[in-house]
Chains A and B, each alone.
Chain A
Amino acid sequence: MRDAFLDELYNIACRDRRVILLSDDLGAPSLDKFRRDLHHQYFNVGIAEQGMVSLAAGLALGGKVVFAYGIAPFLTLRCLEQIKIGMCSMNLPVTILGVGAGYAYDNAGLTHHAVEDISIMNILSGMTILSPSDNVMVTAFAQIAYTSPGPKYIRFDREKFPLIYDENKSDFSAGLAVLREGRDITIVATGIMVHQALKVADELSKHAVDAGVIDLYRIKPLNEALLMEAVAKTRRVVTMEENFLSGGIGSIIASLLADRGETVRLRRFGVPDKYLSQGGGREELHRLSGLDVASVTENTLRWLGK
């Protein structure tokens, strides 16, 4: 997913020397092209996230369009104040490319898990949060990040996902996509959980529950009107995310519903309030978090009283 993005970014950078890519010593096959062909537009700043974000802010003040690439939990938590001050308070065109959404780094342990980033980035005023679910989308996000002003955070997974979107689709301005209509409930998911949600919907259908699925790929700013229109049909919403429940998309949607005074039943699935450093890979972490397909299906059915 990140290589698809970086490949597109490389094409953009070839045409526009304002584009600068910074890395905190995280590699990628696509970075070789940057290093080889665009060495005046690529800098390895070393394992120095705070320095990287401040540098990015300064470059942006000097007229550059900057991308800062690294591992998601390090590039969000460690330099949070630099993001707040250097990027958000001055509305600068800096995009953080955080690799390792959720439990993507599974066996690397809790230090490498990005399970707070949605919550924390969402709090920052002016931040745009993009959470891609396939490579078609991620390629389009490169253009979006390049052309739209202001600070952005893109949360990349490490797995290769099946394509959801048509290869020719490039308009992702809506912020969310209704992948499947449903009469009974609406599952709103993001990132890897979109793929899980589609499987959950298949399982629910075996129990005569017709579940719609929404891919929430732009978490902030939320397309409130479109989301409300989508959930109004069933008025039963399930959210699925690989992020702490506190402050994640479930919380965000709960806040929206409360603010709108809407009577919508809501069941949130996400990472419980616990740091998990368990072996067994991502599937085991999902199982422990109740995010595996079987757990979400069973708990949803229970929630529906079935």
Chain B
Amino acid sequence: MAHRTILKQQELKSKANWVRKQTLEMCVMAHSGHIASSFSCTDILVALYYGGILQFDPANPHWEKRDRFIMSKGHGGVALYPILADLGFFPKDELRNFCQPGGVLGVHPERSIPGIETVTGSLGHGLGIAAGLALSAKLDGREFMTVVMLGDGECYEGSVWEAAMFAGSHALNNLVAVIDRNGLCVTDFTENFLQLEPFEEKWRSFGWDVTNIDGHSFREVLATFKGFRSRTSTKPLMIIARTVKGKGVSFMEGQANWHTQIPASEQLEKARMELNRKAGLAGRC
């Protein structure tokens, strides 16, 4: 496995801003994709891949010892593509083929994409698959960690709780789940129509350790994952990451109507301007 530089916090901010810019332009080009949902989890993804958390080898996506990352919140997968391309899982040119004929990158990730472990897009599948991977590692004494990202609305799916119950009962402490708790579904805020709270208590009652962090704070994300491979707890770990849907573009942030919308004209220019300004503040990437 090739040596990789671990980015410092300021560099992580720059990288995250670059990922948001790429995500925006890909979705605008294709007129497709979930920009706001991708923006809310971008910082966490950047921390995982550039902050020295996940172990992987872009030159060998099937490296046996790699950690497994599952984007159960498949509609946020567009944020993952620039990261995988940048790291060398596939050529950066492929980003231009997003949703194009002959391209492998679609709105939701599939296993044919180097660096993607399982197809997602329909919600509620990833945690169960992650639990199976974690169990397989336990059974064979393998040391890889399995990290899975879920959306908060995804947790309405009953299948999530079947997986949660199994993981808690079977002490899968090599399993880490991160919930992108942006508080918004497609049409409304979660707590307006079907309350997820008290959320932490639900996960604790299913046998998980739970921590609650600011999902846009690299310091908190990195600190939470520090030592995650050698936890003494026997429980799987749930990280509820408070995030903002549409983070990074002011008129998208926390707004209910940006799940599938693609900005155009003046709004697009405003989005670009804001991300470019942030790039200027964060330094070139």
Contacts and interface: CB of A to CB of B under 8 A. Distances in A.
Chain B interface residue bracket vs A:
20 to 34
Contacts of B119: 85, 89-90
B118 A90 contact: yes
Contacts of A56: 132
A55 B158 contact: no
B136 A59 contact: yes
A55 B132 contact: yes
B129 A57 contact: yes
B163 A61 contact: no
B166 A61 contact: no
B165 A46 contact: yes
Given A50-B158, A51-B159, A54-B125, A62 B165 contact: no
A63 interface: yes
Nearest to B135: A59
A50 B128 contact: yes
Contacts of A82: 125, 128, 159
Contact of B136 (A52, A54, A62, A89): A62
Given A48-B166, A54-B129, A61 B159 contact: no
Interface in A22-42: 40
B122 A54 contact: no
A61 B165 contact: no
Chain A interface residue bracket vs B:
20 to 34
B131 interface: yes
Contacts of B191: none
Interface string B123-145: 01101111111111101101000
B111 interface: yes
B133 to A, nearest CB: 4
Contacts of B162: 46, 48, 50-52, 54
Contacts of B220: none
A62 B137 contact: yes
Contact of B131 (A20, A55, A63): A55
Nearest to B162: A51
Given A59-B136, A60-B132, A89-B119, A54 B163 contact: yes
B214 interface: no
Interface string A4-26: 00000000000001001000000
A58 B140 contact: no
Given A54-B163, A90-B111, A61 B128 contact: no
Nearest to A40: B139
Given A54-B159, A61-B118, A89-B119, 14 more contacts: A17-B139, A40-B139, A48-B162, A51-B163, A54-B127, A57-B129, A57-B132, A58-B118, A58-B129, A59-B133, A60-B132, A62-B140, A63-B140, A85-B122
19 contacts: A43-B135, A46-B166, A48-B166, A51-B163, A51-B166, A55-B129, A55-B131, A57-B118, A57-B129, A58-B132, A59-B132, A61-B68, A61-B133, A62-B136, A63-B140, A82-B125, A82-B128, A86-B128, A90-B118
Interface of A: 17, 20, 40, 43, 45-46, 48, 50-64, 81-82, 85-86, 89-90
Q: Sort A-B residue pairs by CB-CB distance and give the 5 closest, nearest first.
A: A58-B132, A62-B136, A54-B128, A51-B162, A58-B129
